[in-house]
Amino acid sequence: MSAAPTYYHLSFEPAVRRILHPLTIIRVTGGTEAPQRAIRLIREGGLVAYPTDTVYGLGCHAFDDAAVLRLYEVKRRPRGEALPVLIADPEELPDLVAVIPDAARRLMARFWPGALTLVFPKGRHVSSIVTAGGDLLAVRLPDHPIPRSLIRGAAAPIIGTSANVHGGASPTVAQHVAFELGDQVDMILDGGRTRHGRESTVVDVTADPPRVLRAGAVPAGAVLEALR
């Protein structure tokens, strides 16, 4: 006599996070500016995910401490890790940093706008929440019209961290952002796949000579060559 059949009662979590609130996703193209709704969100303390030339970023008004704290929470980023800032034009840099070394000027002339983040001594107007209590600030001028138009429209720099849960892979398409962060962000600007698909290279220009802190889209050899 054969054994009675055995049945397994299995349960599965849904493959995609259930969205508790409507999530606004707006399609944008590389040659357009950010929608006014996104700019208003930045001004009002909202969180907006946006495409850049490297990966998708998660941004808020860099001078709004409440928005920055919320970004830390949404990203699950330890408060001891500083956040990078994006600017739209080189003229905005002196308002954020205490000094611009000659080496930084050479790198900016060669790679900005682009996939190079530079670490400076922070200026007095920058909140210690952004810099995790430290004296250094990472700044980038991206080569993409969407974040730059967000910054110009909000009349303030924005946070430029990757739009993913801390420790995860940096998103290169808007779908990655929606899956990772879902309705925890206020808006996603879908600009298609990012051009580089890799994080920016980070260089500390407070060191002498400057040091590459993170390899990225700009080859370290090109950075060293520009400093000669």
Give the Å distances, CA to CA, from 10 to 7, 13, 19.
9, 10, 24
Q: Tokens standing for 32? A: 């357009």
Model confidence pLDDT, tens digit, residues 42-59: 999 999 999 999 999 999
Tokens of 136: 């250094």
* Least confident segment among 17-21, 34-38, 147-151, 169-173: 17-21
pLDDT in tens, 192-212: 999 999 999 999 999 999 999
pLDDT in tens, 117-173: 999 999 999 999 999 999 999 999 999 999 999 999 999 999 999 999 999 999 999
Residue 12 pLDDT exceeds 70: no
pTM score: 0.90
Name residue 45's amino acid: G
CA separation for the pair 22, 188 (Å, rounded): 12
Question: What pLDDT, on a 0 to 100 scale, did the predictor assign at position 20?
Answer: 57
pLDDT at 32: 82
First to last CA, the chain: 85
Query: Is the per-residue pLDDT at 3 higher than 60?
Result: no
Q: Give the pLDDT confidence of 65-122 residue by residue, as tens digits.
A: 999 999 999 999 999 999 999 999 999 999 999 999 999 999 999 999 999 999 999 9
Question: How far is C-alpha 149 from the geometric centre of its chain's CA atoms?
Answer: 15
Q: Which pLDDT belongs to residue 29?
A: 81
* C-alpha–C-alpha distance, residues 135 and 51, integer Å: 28
> Counting beta carbons within 10 angstroms of the beta carbon of residue 2, is it exposed (0 to 12), middle (13 to 18) or buried (19 or more)?
exposed
Alpha helices in the chain, H assignment, sequence order = 36-43, 65-75, 102-111, 145-154, 174-181, 220-227
Domain 24-227, CATH 3.40.50.11890 — does that match?
A: no
Q: Does pLDDT of 6 surpass 50?
A: no
Look up residue 22 and give its two tokens: 């409507």
Given pLDDT bands bounded at 50, 70 and 90, which one contains residue 21? Answer: low
Domain residue ranges in the chain: 24-227
